[in-house]
Structure 1
Amino acid sequence: MGEISSSSSIESHVSTTSWSIYKNYPLISALISFLLAQSIKVFTTWCKERRWDAKQLIGSGGMPSSHSATVTALAVAIGFKDGFGGSVFAIAAILACVVMYDSSGVRLHAGRHAEVLNQIVFELPEEHPLSDTRPLREVLGHTPPQVIAGALLGFVTASIAYLIEKVIAQ
């Protein structure tokens, strides 16, 4: 008999826990910010190149930075929810800084290296063993304006989500 009540208790806890994820304001803010940034990339590509590119929905690079939007929304939402003086906000803020630095530094330069390597391979004679090598992906990172735009998007998304949560809670 003890097993049945224990099992029911666990099922109840799992059910409550699984539904509470939908109320996790920082997580929801980060996911919405990511989805918005990826969606916006489709439109910025169209404005820049006059072509629709659905691959932008899942690709990295481009305007705005979905990396920056996601981690900024997460950090700001944690700050609003738990306070900007707490340890969890400090962790999220440092994570956001590292991700944004990496996307505009290391990953941006890796993309530029790929561009140069692709040009070198393109200029190889046909008989060279590497002449038919598949091109490397060149758009890996973000320029500083793309990172800033992503961070602003993340801040705005988390702020609006916070206001909505406050209205719903009343």
Structure 2
Amino acid sequence: MTNRGLITAIAAVGTAQLLKVPIHYANTGQCDMRKMIGSGGMPSAHSSGVSALAVYTATKYGLKTPVFAISTMLGIIVMYDAMNIRRHAGEIAVQVNDLDEDVERLAGEHPGIHHKRRRERLKESLGHQPREVAAGALLGAMIGFMGAITAYKK
């Protein structure tokens, strides 16, 4: 016996990750296959997965069930985190990554022995803009609904 809700949620995450490549290409003209496995970007795979699970459970089991309540609360927490905490961490990473240039500029391009340039840059694309979360949620809702109605046919 398979867990159709889990499969539907994973399919939504995978679909969102795959869509990041052509959407990034349409916006920038650059084909970056790393978008398929990275965090951040359009649409939010996290939002897609939790929305698919919530819509699947609502359609299959009803709105008054504990399983729908749990999946909905999980979705709210995940989407809030993606839009706020993780996005702000990404914005802080941009500032930290720029510190080396700022120190060198303040020191007149000669920071001396007390400053070593960071070898690794912090990852800046951690979270999502609200529209990326909304797009992921809409994609996930559609996939969750399709997963539930196809489950009825079996």
Instruction: Compute the TM-score of the two structures, normalised by the length of structure 1.
Output: 0.81
Q: Which residue of 2 aligns with 1:25?
A: 4
**2: distance between equivalents of 1:75 and 1:130?**
48
Q: Which residue of 2 aligns with 1:39?
A: 18
Between structure 1 and structure 2, the one with the greater Rg is 1
Q: Does 1:111 align with 2:90?
A: yes
Question: Residues 60-99 of structure 1 correspond to what in structure 2 (within 5 A)?
Answer: 60-99=39-78
**2: distance between equivalents of 1:132 and 1:73?**
40
Instruction: Specify every segment of 5 or more residues in structure 2 that has no aligned partner in the other structure, as ranges.
Output: 105-110
Q: What whole-Å deviation, never above 9, does each CA across 1:49-74 have from its counterpart, x for those lacking one?
A: 11111111110000000000000101
Deviation, structure 1 residue 78: 1.4
Deviation, structure 1 residue 166: 2.4
**2: distance between equivalents of 1:86 and 1:165?**
18
Local SS of the residue matching 1:108: helix
Tell which has more relative contact order, 1 or 2 (C-alpha 8 A, sep 6+).
2
Q: Which moved more, 1:72-81 or 1:93-102?
A: 72-81
What amino acid is aligned across from residue 150 of structure 2 in structure 1?
Answer: I
What amino acid is aligned across from residue 152 of structure 2 in structure 1?
Answer: K
Q: Which moved more, 1:46-55 or 1:120-129?
A: 120-129
**2: distance between equivalents of 1:149 and 1:58?**
18
Q: Does 1:157 align with 2:143?
A: yes
**1: distance between equivalents of 2:149 and 2:61?**
15
Aligned-residue CA RMSD (Å): 1.3
Question: Identity percentage over the alignment?
Answer: 37
What amino acid is aligned across from residue 135 of structure 2 in structure 1?
Answer: A
What amino acid is aligned across from residue 61 of structure 2 in structure 1?
Answer: D
Instruction: Compute the TM-score of the two structures, normalised by the length of structure 2.
Output: 0.89
Local SS of the residue matching 1:105: helix
Q: Does 1:145 align with 2:124?
A: no
Instruction: Specify every segment of 5 or more residues in structure 1 that has no aligned partner in the other structure, as ranges.
Output: 1-19
**1: distance between equivalents of 2:123 and 2:37?**
14
* Change beyond 3 A, Cα 1:130–1:103: farther
Asked whether the equivalents of residues 121 and 133 of structure 1 are also in contact (C-alpha less than 8 Å), the reply is no
1:136 to 122, 126, 131: 122
1:52 to 28, 31, 34: 31
